[in-house]
Structure 1
């Protein structure tokens, strides 16, 4: 009786209770979903209870009065009929012996059906063995965690108890198994219900097979009379009373799929493909051969097969592009790697449940730019989505690119470890992908889709243009072919249901049915956001208590929803699926095609790079050969090319603009909506576009820069003050720098006003206690990139350019804090972005205004630290990061000589001529062979620094050498192709992407423009036609 759930318990009569008399248990139930008393009372009404009655149910939790539940009698039958010889015969199963009575019941029911069956088309013993193996797996998935728990509990009482002894004790008779099940009655209930359902479902499938055999043989066996030799159950999630997809294997190794649902959609889609093929597709498409019955169906098992040659690979990816185009039009979902099979040159979709989809969530409430991206090519799941939708799924599960052996940090599962030892345990492990069937292989190697992006794009374009050219005809065809079908509704992620189901099978929820049901109360939280779930959540809980993944369907031409037991819930969807499809087709045009192809390109590239380390990814070249029209590098033309690309492929809506692209996180890149930051986000891009406007007079550059800044400010309005750091490159400082910068380029008072507001908040942030973080974490709070040194420099430059008093005061406060910390804990790194050089640069800036205490010796200490880490032989400063293999091999803005020299450019400390030449030669030797282009780690960062040094009086004697060096670097043959590759991959930000390269190109053409590397502001607007940089002007004349 303890295993009964709320709706099965009978409330005893009770006097009304006041709120203060409510039990802690009742309040705990309400707290699971943060429900008010009225909300919870309304919820109970659907179960025929009021609060007082429910409170008394809780009070009598362990001695409930219940309605008649048949499973208890079934459990007694199972336990009484299990033969002891069956237990001893299977003692080798170890900890799993607890489930043997239930396996026995299942086996006996199937065996009895075999004895009554007259068909000779089933090899009974091999089939029964395979069925037992599958069901045993399912039983142990539920029971093993509790079995292991009980073993270790027993071991606490008997220190010398071995697993072997414990298992033999369990298998010695039913007594010990009964004792365990009495302690965990919910487990007993689950196993009982699973056994009966599995037997019924197995027999149902076998009877359907027997009845349909002649049709199956004619369709799949060329009329041969093949015998069934193996059945693999559980080839998918459990739905609708434990039914799952099943794989049948026959004595000639032919396989067949059984699906316990109508396959009418599969047939309709096959007919749709034939319809499109008749329109003259370059390559025909097809689906698996299907037999659909009213409530179930049979389908061809598609074998994974490698391509035989390069031509087949190209054909495969062209077809994959066409499928992507069809799924985009249908707005399909859930086409992940488990639903795709690569069979030679033909991609097959093997699950059409979500081909026709609908969405319960109100898309009108989606903020820009998610409102643009939701119904894009990303929706189907066929292509990688990175973190565009900020999902808990942190690996690529796409049908075109998901690789095996990806390990998730968010998603976990339970597995049995050391199951044959005394240290047996049930542990939670990270989820790891394992699928291979969707991957294209040639000559034993997995093929990278990015190499065939042209074919994918061409296939997508062909389908898109067919649909765009015949919208009305195709809308009519779709309505006629699919209008009376049903689709599966995915109201929540399946993995979320799976988490709840697994959690509800933990031992602590298996002693009482109310404990298990209480856990699932958390599903009610969604009602706070969407009231329509009030009708849905009870059915979700029912399915999960039934050990199923919740299952919902909907008519394609209706807005209602059907539950797993076929109850109708009206008016769930805002529009019908058919309406969504028709509205999508109405929006087909050339601009939309270009945008979807661009997203497709980003997605395919992201699959290639997301597992690469930062240096490897930055060094990538253009995927395909690029034919350049000129061998001479033109910085102005390159900057314009980059800027126009950024305009063409921005996301824009109602006066706001932003970008999608690759963002670095933990030294790896993920496709995502770019944040606002200066470093790799959109404000760095906007500042570059602002410079482009000043240099070219193209108002579109200015307008987009303004649109993005306004978008960033609109986002800031929704962000709490404590969610942002003051960092110039990654926090509030980005808005401060960009706001003042853009207002200096062109009259943009709202940007300056926003920048002033954020400057005030930066100043307020500086009052937070210095000890709020550990010392090792504080180091990054001090440096130029993320901390105080960058803030000091920016604020001093704001004072110098705009005479903002608050800026100078903010600089003083952060300088004092920097000095205070450095007295306690000296700098740990050398270098401009992360170490002492950036701090020296900042403190020398503030020192010029006599705002440092006269007794401050921090600058001298920093200089001494920096000098102590210089190696004259290698002409470089040490990179002191622990993981660096060659501490003297870093020559970047962030670490090494280039950044150190940039920091020294503000000092009066001269560098010996011979040492200067040695430094230049060492820097240039590295830059010449550096395959990376970015400002932070690459060639254009070196060029930026060389330009700054060339303008420094102390380096005038080396100016000719610098000019030659810069020209040599930009003339490198791979520069232009690498820039194109960076654009294709979505590497568009400032410090790691093409925006920073474009900025440097502008500086190459106009020496008067500011450098972002030291957070400079524009002194005046000087057009390219007014002044050319002598570096490239002279080189071009040679």
Structure 2
């Protein structure tokens, strides 16, 4: 029994977790003391904090579920949930712990393996230091007569039993690292012989066969304010260096600003391989380094990722939290908190960190200087990398955060019960693995699972079978990978790629990423011939014979991400083709159609609905609508789900009333009705009620079943027009009125038209308040809808004049105001303006009203 009455804890279940953690810690501590007693002073006090946190993460999900189940079994005895919690904790080791170890088969195995790994990592770390103590002390100028080791913390992800460790040696902080020694040696040699070690540095390190010791690097002040400029110039050189070596994963935690020098503190991924398909693509560009911010806030007024070049930033962190804490009714939940990110990668003067935003030109100048140095020292570089194939650099199958989330999931009670269940769970989740030849996928998925079941973040190093010393679960063979080049060939390929054209393209990427001199914003200036086309073509590049069409697109949080354009209509190549037919010289419609059909996606963003709407717009009404049986959809909305698909197929049925088409639509409606929409709260045409309710009108029209009309009325009542506070098409008043317009075209009922006319004044007010120009959520969406009404003779003379005035004001504003021109997509970017201009000139139907 735990002798604690009226338990008081800082954290839930602290008394239980503390007991188990101390037992594990003391067992490991005792073993270490038995080995090194009376020989060396080894301080492991802080190891307990690591053990406590690890055990807490492991046990909390099980403890929460178990106390809930226990409480239900004694519910009639007492309703004092706080007291029940105390009783549960006080008596936990009188059988309850044994019960949990027996019930959750993986729990005992996980704890036992954790103890074995913990001892292994600490013992190996201490042994390596002791065996090489004289060399280490002499290298770092330490007293050779004194050797005091103090553990501080584990560093980085747990990839195996062996861990990276921060420690003190004779009261000075160092880092013990167990990976990347050969990479560090080669990277350092390139820095010396090509870049003369003048611009960036690595931590002072002593490298042994199976580990290295690095000095601790501090975010020291610059000597003067001019050194800030020097730092960012040097950072530009370092950016090129990482680009040259195909380096990846250089987020802000991997760089520390030490005066005017950036220090690369983690070199494991500074040299990497590339895929043959990435040559000349973003996958082998400066973006691959992760030093540049590819993600900006939704208003493009600040970086919102953790790139190695940037500014002070906030990041979202996930924590375990509780409902009804310290009671037997406790519930587990996860909360996300926005916190200040680290700033040690930013240079500092007088204690103040300076971000990159006022020194962007220095970065470009440094990058160009690094480029020139490499061109000048090509022969020296070739000589250095000639033996690079004996390196075994890290190879990344999936983002580390995916593995981290999976490990957290494996601590859930259901996956702790059985190895077989957990294996099958992981197998299902990891069923697709990139880069690997199809006949080898099973092999590497099993290696991922093997590492995850041991509690490790999967880690792989790539090598040729000619260099294998012994087989283990971390090795990836070149021979098993599709299109991946060897280290030497990857480095040589990048070297051969260097040219004036490549330099221009990389600087363009840097300029877009950092928005240098407001690079991403321009005035349209309609006085010039085809101004939009010229701006779009600035984002089209041909690199090494490969077509790259780049656009700033928004992620699900509304932040901008720069990357290759996709296939579909919303923000893809099909949208460019629709906006301007002359882009046929860049894109093949047949190839786009094949890609989309192969994807089985039905959405308007990148799916089959894109193809149908495109053909309606270009008046290819004879184009066959395929009856897709094995369609893939997870959404039921208009923009990316089943509702949009039904609306477009029904549009075809209106034109050509084929019996087969009717049967197909009824099947689709049946699928749609499996989803209960009555409780849906989201408003809007693209994602919410305004778009979804049209399906019930279609269902009623085709079947004459009153239940569909009744459901429509319920949803229509929820879709209150007073809830719309913007003029957007996607989730504002324009979308609501588009929905009424489509229903008017389907039913010919005046009630829908009256709703439209009654709200036009409000729509004009929104039009003058709206800040964005685009079709989806900007003023051109409003113009497009008004043009539709005018084409159908639904505007009176007063509204025609208002429409004309609004259109003139919008185009005048675009001549005077700089807008974001690097989003070239149809619905959210400048292609939407070109679409509107051509649609009006050619009197075509509107894509925003799905060509109804």
Fold in common (TM above 0.5): yes
1:129 aligns with 2:129: no
* 3-state DSSP of counterpart to 1:102: helix
1:639 aligns with 2:532: yes
Instruction: Please give the residue correspondences for 1:996-1015 in structure 2 after superposition, counting only pairs within 5 Å.
Output: 996-1002=832-838, 1006=841, 1012-1013=847-848
Instruction: Please give the residue correspondences for 1:150-169 in structure 2 after superposition, counting only pairs within 5 Å.
Output: 162=84, 164=86
Counterpart Cα distance in 2 of 1:658 and 1:226 = 62
What is the match of residue 880 of structure 1? Answer: 720
* 3-state DSSP of counterpart to 1:761: coil
Deviation at 1:128, TM superposition (A): 3.1
What is the match of residue 243 of structure 1? Answer: 162
1:938 aligns with 2:805: no
Deviation at 1:288, TM superposition (A): 1.6
Question: How many pairs are equivalent?
Answer: 805
Name structure 1 gaps, 5 residues minimum: 1-83, 388-394, 606-620, 694-700, 745-751, 800-804, 847-851, 870-877, 1018-1038
Residue of 574, 577, 592 corresponding to 1:683: 574
What is the match of residue 69 of structure 1? Answer: none
Instruction: Please give the residue correspondences for 1:466-485 in structure 2 after superposition, counting only pairs within 5 Å.
Output: 466-468=373-375, 471-479=378-386, 485=391
What is the match of residue 301 of structure 2? Answer: none
What is the match of residue 613 of structure 1? Answer: none
Residues 934, 166 of structure 1: alpha-carbon distance in 2 compared, 3 angstrom cutoff = closer
Residue of 608, 622, 647 corresponding to 1:732: 608
Residues 962, 304 of structure 1: alpha-carbon distance in 2 compared, 3 angstrom cutoff = same
What is the match of residue 201 of structure 1? Answer: 124
Deviation at 1:456, TM superposition (A): 4.3
Residue of 494, 505, 517 corresponding to 1:584: 494
Q: Describe the superposition over 1:654-695 as per-residue Cα deviations: whole angstroms up to 9, x where unpaired.
A: 8x88655414546565556544433333212111220xx3xx
CA contact (8 A) 1:793 1:842 kept: no
Q: Describe the superposition over 1:178-208 as per-residue Cα deviations: whole angstroms up to 9, x where unpaired.
A: 8876776535632542454245235325525
Q: Describe the superposition over 1:55-94 as per-residue Cα deviations: whole angstroms up to 9, x where unpaired.
A: xxxxxxxxxxxxxxxxxxxxxxxxxxxxx9xxx9x99844
Residue of 740, 761, 769 corresponding to 2:627: 761
Residue of 770, 792, 811 corresponding to 1:970: 811
Q: Describe the superposition over 1:685-726 as per-residue Cα deviations: whole angstroms up to 9, x where unpaired.
A: 111220xx3xxxxxxx33224x2x222112134233xx415x
Higher relative contact order structure (alpha carbons within 8 Å, sequence separation ≥ 6): 2
Residues 336, 262 of structure 1: alpha-carbon distance in 2 compared, 3 angstrom cutoff = closer
Counterpart Cα distance in 2 of 1:674 and 1:246 = 42
Deviation at 1:331, TM superposition (A): 1.9
Deviation at 1:464, TM superposition (A): 3.7
1:379 aligns with 2:299: no
Residue of 94, 102, 105 corresponding to 2:27: 105
Counterpart Cα distance in 1 of 2:719 and 2:225 = 46
Residue of 696, 699, 702 corresponding to 2:584: 702
Residues 249, 386 of structure 1: alpha-carbon distance in 2 compared, 3 angstrom cutoff = same
Counterpart Cα distance in 2 of 1:260 and 1:973 = 57
Residues 594, 199 of structure 1: alpha-carbon distance in 2 compared, 3 angstrom cutoff = closer
CA contact (8 A) 1:679 1:989 kept: yes
* 3-state DSSP of counterpart to 2:813: coil
CA contact (8 A) 1:760 1:806 kept: no
Instruction: Please give the residue correspondences for 1:605-624 in structure 2 after superposition, counting only pairs within 5 Å.
Output: 623=518
Counterpart Cα distance in 1 of 2:626 and 2:775 = 29
Instruction: Please give the residue correspondences for 1:202-351 in structure 2 after superposition, counting only pairs within 5 Å.
Output: 202-204=125-127, 206-207=129-130, 210-212=133-135, 214-218=137-141, 230-239=150-159, 242-249=161-168, 254-261=172-179, 263-278=181-196, 284-304=199-219, 315-343=230-258, 345-351=260-266
* 3-state DSSP of counterpart to 2:154: coil
Counterpart Cα distance in 2 of 1:404 and 1:99 = 33
Deviation at 1:760, TM superposition (A): 4.6
Residues 716, 559 of structure 1: alpha-carbon distance in 2 compared, 3 angstrom cutoff = farther
Instruction: Please give the residue correspondences for 1:237-636 in structure 2 after superposition, counting only pairs within 5 Å.
Output: 237-239=157-159, 242-249=161-168, 254-261=172-179, 263-278=181-196, 284-304=199-219, 315-343=230-258, 345-358=260-273, 363=275, 372-383=281-292, 396=305, 398-400=307-309, 404-406=314-316, 421-423=326-328, 427=332, 429=334, 436-437=342-343, 440=346, 454-468=361-375, 471-479=378-386, 485-490=391-396, 494-495=400-401, 530-532=438-440, 548-549=456-457, 551-553=459-461, 560=468, 563=471, 571=479, 575-600=485-510, 623=518, 633-634=526-527, 636=529
Residues 946, 553 of structure 1: alpha-carbon distance in 2 compared, 3 angstrom cutoff = closer
Deviation at 1:476, TM superposition (A): 2.3
Deviation at 1:989, TM superposition (A): 1.5
CA contact (8 A) 1:638 1:1001 kept: no
Deviation at 1:994, TM superposition (A): 0.7
Deviation at 1:582, TM superposition (A): 0.7
Deviation at 1:808, TM superposition (A): 12
Counterpart Cα distance in 2 of 1:553 and 1:788 = 48
What is the match of residue 300 of structure 2? Answer: none
Counterpart Cα distance in 2 of 1:808 and 1:236 = 63
Deviation at 1:1015, TM superposition (A): 5.9
Counterpart Cα distance in 2 of 1:951 and 1:512 = 65
Instruction: Please give the residue correspondences for 1:888-1037 in structure 2 after superposition, counting only pairs within 5 Å.
Output: 890=727, 895-896=732-733, 900=737, 903=741, 926-944=766-784, 955=796, 963-972=804-813, 976-978=817-819, 981-983=820-822, 987-1002=823-838, 1006=841, 1012-1013=847-848
What is the match of residue 186 of structure 1? Answer: 109
Deviation at 1:968, TM superposition (A): 3.0
Q: Describe the superposition over 1:522-552 as per-residue Cα deviations: whole angstroms up to 9, x where unpaired.
A: 7996799644467767766766666555555
What is the match of residue 52 of structure 1? Answer: none
Residues 1003, 561 of structure 1: alpha-carbon distance in 2 compared, 3 angstrom cutoff = farther
Residues 515, 689 of structure 1: alpha-carbon distance in 2 compared, 3 angstrom cutoff = closer
- Aligned-CA RMSD value: 6.2
1:715 aligns with 2:573: no
Counterpart Cα distance in 1 of 2:333 and 2:393 = 34
Residues 602, 812 of structure 1: alpha-carbon distance in 2 compared, 3 angstrom cutoff = farther
* 3-state DSSP of counterpart to 1:295: coil
* 3-state DSSP of counterpart to 1:129: coil
Provide the TM-score with structure 1 as the length reference.
Answer: 0.61
Name structure 2 gaps, 5 residues minimum: 297-303
Counterpart Cα distance in 2 of 1:491 and 1:505 = 23
Residues 243, 226 of structure 1: alpha-carbon distance in 2 compared, 3 angstrom cutoff = same
Q: Describe the superposition over 1:2-29 as per-residue Cα deviations: whole angstroms up to 9, x where unpaired.
A: xxxxxxxxxxxxxxxxxxxxxxxxxxxx
Provide the TM-score with structure 2 as the length reference.
Answer: 0.72
Deviation at 1:459, TM superposition (A): 3.9
Deviation at 1:993, TM superposition (A): 0.8
Residues 236, 627 of structure 1: alpha-carbon distance in 2 compared, 3 angstrom cutoff = closer
Q: Describe the superposition over 1:426-483 as per-residue Cα deviations: whole angstroms up to 9, x where unpaired.
A: 9574787975256538799987767765554444444345445654543223336x56
Residues 970, 495 of structure 1: alpha-carbon distance in 2 compared, 3 angstrom cutoff = closer
Deviation at 1:933, TM superposition (A): 0.7
Deviation at 1:96, TM superposition (A): 2.9
* 3-state DSSP of counterpart to 1:116: coil
* 3-state DSSP of counterpart to 1:233: strand
* 3-state DSSP of counterpart to 2:242: helix
Counterpart Cα distance in 1 of 2:411 and 2:390 = 39
